[in-house]
Amino acid sequence: MSIDFTHSPRSTIGIEWELQVIDPATGRFAPIGPDVLRELELSGAHGVERIHKEMHRGMIELVSSRQHRVPDALVDLADSLALVQPAFAAHGAALTSAGTHPFEDPSDHEVTCTSRYFELVERTRWWGRQMLIFGTHVHVGIDDVARAIPVLSHMATYIGHLQAVAASSPMWVGQDTGYADNRAMMFQQLPNAGLPEPLSTWRDFEDCTRDLLRAGAIREVNELRWDVRPSPAFGTVEVRACDASSNLTEIGAVAALIHCLVEEAARALDAGRPLCRLPHWLLAANKWRSARFGLDAALVEEVGADPVPLRQTLPGLLERLAPVAEDLGCEHELAQAGRVLDVGNGAERQLAVARLAQERGAQVGPAVVQHLLAETACGAPVEPVGA
């Protein structure tokens, strides 16, 4: 089986940001996403093509154009957010995000009326109905198909780092799960989701896809929902391991970290240097640890080495990538990735808000939602009041 890989300029970038549609008065989902987007489409609003409906009616997705710099992709997202916020406000709704909603029950919410989503739920049943989750997906252009799988394998070794920095899903149906990134644990229950298969060449990917199609496990390439996957139609490697963030500052930090790691890999290939690669069992160990412990995880970074605390190694990783970031024009955004060590990732901030609400005898879930809405409004992390 042959799969065409679209030509894409090297290290171009695109960002997809999944958002929650919220009733600010209650903190619950407002199931009006498709309706408001339809209104915008009928109005002929400029830029509406970069705003998409999603699996549930209380979700939408903002998508940047293909850009060369993270800041330019963030401008696209900011413009789209500015377009849709008044439209939702007119219906009494607001937008925010996190990897999960802190207290909503997925069984209370309808799937958006598309055959793709209905088929997913029909096939996967209870687990499919749990997919009320929100991610940030980052595409980076690969200019040679022969590089796609080596870069994918290289990026898989950083899934633990990326999950920990972006983690923002500690709560599920009103419970503290004990996981910083519970979304990762939920999503991997779907068929062909989670860690990518251990591949070495594009031919391996074609063979894997052929076998799964023949077995009836997938119907199309896009049903390979790996944490890092090739996206043949766009000519990119797509990183899907990250929770959605509540604010554009952290979206930019995650995107810059991914952008720099992919370009660093391309430069290593230019120089004939080997890329990072870990066996599947160590990737699985790192993925679970970062989902469970977030920034407090200890990760294995080399075969045969002991795990090392992420809080100790993240500054060195960012320092190593700084020259790449300067060349890519995202040095400011990359530096923001290090701020999580000071302000906490989204999961830590949500739990801090939850603790403060409990101490005051307030409702925990709605308090967390109000905090997320405040972060979206100001476009940056907000220190929990009273922390």
- Whether the predicted model's global pTM rises above the 0.75 cut: yes
Domain 13-378 has CATH 3.40.710.10: no
- In this predicted model, which residue has the larger pLDDT, 243 or 131? 243
Residue 6: per-residue pLDDT: 96
Residue 39: per-residue pLDDT: 95
Indicate the DSSP class of residue 102.
Answer: S
pLDDT in tens, 194-237: 999 999 999 999 999 999 999 999 999 999 999 999 999 999 99
Which amino acid is residue 47, in one-letter code? Answer: G
**115 has pLDDT over 80:** no
**Is the separation of the CB atoms in 93 and 163 below 8 Å?**
no
The angle, 0 to 180 degrees and rounded to 10, between the axes of the packed helices 248-270 and 159-166 is 170
Residue 84: per-residue pLDDT: 97
pLDDT in tens, 4-60: 999 999 999 999 999 999 999 999 999 999 999 999 999 998 999 999 988 788 999
Sequence-distant (≥ 6) Cβ neighbours of residue 104 within 8 angstroms: 28, 29, 58, 132, 173
Q: Residue ranges of the domains in the chain?
A: 13-378
Sequence-distant (≥ 6) Cβ neighbours of residue 32 within 8 angstroms: 21, 57, 58, 88, 91, 93
**Is the separation of the CB atoms in 61 and 52 below 8 Å?**
yes
- In this predicted model, which residue has the larger pLDDT, 126 or 85? 85
Residue 80: per-residue pLDDT: 98
Closest CA to 76 of 66, 64, 85: 64
Q: How many CB atoms lie within 10 A of CB 274?
A: 9
Mean pLDDT of the chain: 94
- 113 phi, psi to nearest 5 deg: -75, 75
pLDDT in tens, 257-313: 999 999 999 999 999 999 999 999 999 999 999 999 999 999 999 999 999 999 999
Indicate the pLDDT class of residue 122, thresholds 50, 70 and 90: confident
Which amino acid is residue 223, in one-letter code? Answer: E
pLDDT in tens, 151-187: 999 999 999 999 999 999 999 999 999 999 999 999 9
Indicate the pLDDT class of residue 386, thresholds 50, 70 and 90: low
Query: Residue 143 and residue 136: Cα distance in Å, rounded?
Result: 23
Question: Would you say the C-alpha torsion 340, 346, 351, 357 has a positive or negative sign?
Answer: positive
The angle, 0 to 180 degrees and rounded to 10, between the axes of the packed helices 364-378 and 346-360 is 130
Indicate the pLDDT class of residue 136, thresholds 50, 70 and 90: very high
Residue 22: per-residue pLDDT: 98
- 357 phi, psi to nearest 5 deg: -65, -40
Residue 113: per-residue pLDDT: 58
Question: Would you say the C-alpha torsion 235, 78, 263, 228 has a positive or negative sign?
Answer: negative
Query: Residue 61 and residue 50: Cα distance in Å, rounded?
Result: 8
Query: Residue 344 and residue 361: Cα distance in Å, rounded?
Result: 24
CA R_g for the chain: 20
Sequence-distant (≥ 6) Cβ neighbours of residue 374 within 8 angstroms: 382
DSSP 252-319: HHHHHHHHHHHHHHHHHHHTTPPPP---HHHHHHHHHHHHHHGGG-EE--STTPPPEEHHHHHHHHHH
